[in-house]
Amino acid sequence: MNLNKELRILKSEPLLFITLPISFFVLLILKLLSPIILIRFGLLHSDRIGHFLINTELFFCEQFTKRKKKNSLDIFYFPTEPCNYQFSKMLRRKILILPKIIIRPFCLISRKLDFFSSHVTGQPSNGDYDVKNLLDKIKTQVKFTKDEIKYGEKKLHEMGVKKNQKIICIAVRDSFYLKKKYPNSKFDYHNHRNEDINNFILSIKYLIKKKYFVIRMGSLTKNKVKYRNNNFLDYSHSKFKSDFMDLFISSQSDLFISNNTGVDAFGILFRKPVLHVGSIPIGAISTYSNKIFNTMLNHYSVILKRNLNLSEIFEKNLHLGWTNEFFLKKKIRLIKFRPTEILKFTKEVVKIINNNDLFFENKYEKKFKKIYSKKLKKYPETKYFHGKIKSHFLSSFLRYNKNFLK
């Protein structure tokens, strides 16, 4: 038992000194009643958008595959203010959500004591990793109302999106959101994941030539895009920005392009193709769907003075490096892609989608998957992150980084 953690919780929420004992005795009664009706308690990860959307959606999908017990009732709560109020509104139409002050003590006890473990709910098997490959099999579990769809279509028209015009979303992570949202916390360990949106301008121009409407997503972003066009909207710096439109735009898009940021969860939620520009860490990249297109950042060894190949990345235990500090200590530089490289990736994915070639595997990714699958079996700590390997690995990356395939 992590006593320090328990003490921190009690110190920050002194009301629990009263509610925990009461909830404990209520749970004892509920335990006795469980053969008649099983009441379970769960929390929804409402603080960060990636976990809020995907953990919740995966839980719903797992429940969809199970036979729901006739005499059961699941009750949830938000541990924080929801980071997207529209999503919380859609959830309330589907499940029972009660105030934190009521449900939290039940949840804390049932998660901590094995005796009450049957009263726990809301936990997908592997967090936000779809190891059961359910997102390809099951439709999105939250829905818009007819009035919401009508309102969303009106807003898209006001943005400049023409009727039947295809939309592509671009979401590029920078440090601004976390600094503004959590000013008292340090997130420097994520710095290696940040990117400059203006490195995507070549791709934006290409997509516009292909008649797409391109939308730069995000609620709080540092830099404006240094480009203007009637078929491009820097939504993150626009008057149209809202929790509702975050979801609705994503639901209407044809492709999400991102650098592995929480915002791409909007695309994943609505089963949209997603291009990950720089998938890291390599041992935990998204592999669950053929709608996911991966490119990997080259790992440059300062000591060896060259890029490492895939086998070396695993052998040197770099495959689950999550922090900037980790790579600095290992004397590894993650090489970001040039705008021309990002353009090549974009062109390849657009071609695959337009040709409906989601099930086609090029010879380079066949070779990559063979090596990658062997490494995952050899390093069992990666099992948590993967089910069947279904995602794509772009030839426009692998073809020009042939040394990587060793």
Q: Does residue 50 lie in a domain region?
A: yes
On whether both 109 and 187 belong to a single domain, the answer is no
Both structure tokens of 341 = 């490289």
On whether both 314 and 188 belong to a single domain, the answer is yes
On whether both 108 and 152 belong to a single domain, the answer is no
Which pLDDT belongs to residue 182? Answer: 63
- Reported as a pLDDT band with limits 50, 70 and 90, residue 357 is confident
Mean pLDDT, rounded, for 169-195: 71
Q: Say which residues have a Cβ less than 8 Å from residue 315's Cβ, sequence separation at least 6.
A: none
Paired sense of beta strands 274-277 and 232-233, if any: unpaired
DSSP 316-355: TT-TT--SHHHHHHTTEEEEPPPHHHHHHHHHHHHHHHHT
On whether both 254 and 150 belong to a single domain, the answer is yes
On whether both 113 and 229 belong to a single domain, the answer is no
Q: Return the higher-pLDDT residue of 195 and 189.
A: 195
Residue 98: name the closest of 17, 40, 140 by CA.
40
On whether both 321 and 385 belong to a single domain, the answer is yes
For residue range 235-271, list pLDDT tens digits in order.
999 999 999 999 999 999 999 999 988 899 999 999 9
For residue range 62-101, list pLDDT tens digits in order.
999 887 667 899 999 999 999 999 999 999 999 999 999 9
Mean pLDDT, rounded, for 387-404: 92
Q: Does residue 359 lie in a domain region?
A: yes
Which domain covers residue 66, as residue numbers?
3-119
Q: Does residue 194 lie in a domain region?
A: yes
On whether both 342 and 201 belong to a single domain, the answer is yes
- What rounded mean pLDDT belongs to the chain? 92
On whether both 197 and 294 belong to a single domain, the answer is yes
- Reported as a pLDDT band with limits 50, 70 and 90, residue 189 is low
Total number of domains in the chain: 2
Determine what percent of the chain is predicted with pLDDT higher than 70.
Answer: 94
How would you classify residue 41: left for phi > 0, otherwise alpha for psi between -120 and 50, otherwise beta? beta
Determine what percent of the chain is predicted with pLDDT higher than 90.
Answer: 81
> Where among 104, 119, 134 does a domain terminate?
119
| Residue 374, pLDDT above cutoff 60 | yes
For residue range 166-178, list pLDDT tens digits in order.
999 999 987 655 5
Task: Assess whether the previous peptide bond of 281 is cis (omega < 30° from 0).
Answer: yes
Which pLDDT belongs to residue 87? Answer: 98
Mean pLDDT, rounded, for 342-356: 96
Which pLDDT belongs to residue 317? Answer: 96
Mean pLDDT, rounded, for 379-386: 95
Q: Does residue 124 lie in a domain region?
A: no
Residue 214: name the closest of 199, 226, 229 by CA.
229
| Residue 184, pLDDT above cutoff 70 | no
Q: Does residue 318 lie in a domain region?
A: yes
On whether both 228 and 365 belong to a single domain, the answer is yes
Q: Does residue 131 lie in a domain region?
A: no
Which pLDDT belongs to residue 261? Answer: 86
Contact of 167 with 208, CB cutoff 8 Å: no
| Residue 344, pLDDT above cutoff 80 | yes
Q: Quote the pTM value.
A: 0.92
| Residue 183, pLDDT above cutoff 90 | no
On whether both 200 and 334 belong to a single domain, the answer is yes
Q: Does residue 240 lie in a domain region?
A: yes
Q: Does residue 316 lie in a domain region?
A: yes
In angstroms, the CA 222 to CA 237 distance is: 9
- Reported as a pLDDT band with limits 50, 70 and 90, residue 5 is confident
- Reported as a pLDDT band with limits 50, 70 and 90, residue 403 is confident
| Residue 136, pLDDT above cutoff 70 | yes
On whether both 280 and 385 belong to a single domain, the answer is yes
On whether both 273 and 335 belong to a single domain, the answer is yes
**Count of Cβ atoms closer than 10 Å to residue 167 Cβ:** 23
